[in-house]
Chains A and B, each alone.
Chain A
């Protein structure tokens, strides 16, 4: 259940951003937190959403939604330089058959933006 500690890290960061310079002069209520989660992370989006909801429950951030953008796995073949999307990590380049690839996206675990009422 490492999603719990990931949700906790996320909450700590959201609170830090809200207390920091990016939020100076912001009066609108926080309604949504946008994150980007790569498909090649050990994170299950539904579990992360559930943990987030549990974490903010009965706090000033109760009701703040977590919007998760899933990032597909993309990799560049070292054999023929083709970049393509992969649905799982059993990499085999469909162009040249090599499995020697360099992952270019899919490992993201990022806080992207905070959406506030304007």
Chain B
């Protein structure tokens, strides 16, 4: 402390405002009985493609919707809309080209949905393996995607995304024979960063691993339903 000054203690989270809106979103999801899954990855890891193959596999049993975040264009929303599910595109250009979605941006998008008519809402975050990790949206689970073409060492280089994730999805595994890619090494790096992180390895092209991914989603959906029917239970 400098001479002639005094400190007034405060102690709050800097992102308190975001956390508060995230908490509101969480309550709204619980009331509507919708499970929300936040997909995070670098650009081009295959979030939209994974959803293109996931939505038809879930219907009609699971009623799903998608919020798509991008800095610009509505291309992803157009790709997903053909699957006959409600899709809302957020372009963060108007938020200064933001690199991530915040709880309040998601809240705005929610008004465009009939949440009561949904079981599962995917949030496809802006392609970025760094910034989205810091912002709670009120989601039930974060899923971090990593494509094999990005290299084995990304979990070590961008550890936070894999630390805060509830599931890792390794994508494009059908390409491995064409790459100099060491799958074992990637697994080892991923486990070093977060040994408790469950992982599925998928190819939307061959269908490999898709069953495990769908099973994880349905398991998460069932857990969200249990939580919603017993309010006051801790978030996990």
Binding site for B on A (CB under 8 A): 1-2, 4-6, 9-10, 12-13, 17, 22-23, 26, 28, 31-32, 34-35, 40-43, 88-92, 99-100, 103, 109-118
Number of A-B contacts (CB under 8 A): 111
Q: Is the CB of A115 within 8 A of B133?
A: no
Q: Is the CB of A2 within 8 A of B9?
A: no
CB-CB nearest in chain B for A4: B96
Q: Is the CB of A116 within 8 A of B5?
A: yes
Q: Is the CB of B8 within 8 A of A109?
A: no
Binary per-residue interface labels of chain B (151-186) against chain A in the complex, 1 for a CB within 8 Å, 0 otherwise:
000001001100100000000000000000000000
Q: Is the CB of A115 within 8 A of B1?
A: yes
Q: A116 contacts which chain B residues (CB < 8 A)?
A: 5-8
Which are the 9 A-B pairs with shortest beta-carbon distances?
A89-B159, A2-B131, A113-B7, A118-B6, A100-B195, A42-B134, A113-B9, A109-B14, A114-B8
B98 at the interface (CB under 8 A from A): yes
Binding site for A on B (CB under 8 A): 1-2, 4-18, 96, 98-100, 102, 130-131, 133-135, 156, 159-160, 163, 189, 191-193, 195-196
Overall SS of chain B's interface: mixed
A112-B98 contact given A9-B17, A90-B192, A99-B195, CB 8 Å threshold: no
Q: A4 contacts which chain B residues (CB < 8 A)?
A: 96
- B5 partner, pick from A22, A32, A90, beta carbons under 8 A: A32
Q: A12 contacts which chain B residues (CB < 8 A)?
A: 17
19 contacts between A and B (CB under 8 A): A5-B98, A9-B18, A10-B14, A28-B5, A28-B6, A32-B5, A42-B133, A88-B159, A90-B156, A110-B12, A110-B14, A111-B10, A112-B9, A113-B11, A114-B10, A115-B1, A116-B8, A118-B5, A118-B6
Least CB distance, A78 to chain B, in whole angstroms: 9
A43-B134 contact given A89-B163, A116-B8, A117-B4, CB 8 Å threshold: yes
Q: Is the CB of B14 within 8 A of A6?
A: yes
Q: A23 contacts which chain B residues (CB < 8 A)?
A: 8
Q: Is the CB of A100 within 8 A of B8?
A: no
CB-CB nearest in chain A for B189: A90
A110-B8 contact given A40-B160, A42-B131, A100-B195, CB 8 Å threshold: no
Q: Is the CB of A92 within 8 A of B192?
A: yes
Q: B130 contacts which chain A residues (CB < 8 A)?
A: 2, 42
| Complex: A26 Cα to B9 Cα, angstroms | 13
Q: A28 contacts which chain B residues (CB < 8 A)?
A: 5-6
Q: Is the CB of B15 within 8 A of A109?
A: yes
| Complex: A9 Cα to B15 Cα, angstroms | 6
| Complex: A40 Cα to B131 Cα, angstroms | 12
Least CB distance, B152 to chain A, in whole angstroms: 13
| Complex: A21 Cα to B35 Cα, angstroms | 39
Least CB distance, B132 to chain A, in whole angstroms: 8
| Complex: A79 Cα to B235 Cα, angstroms | 25
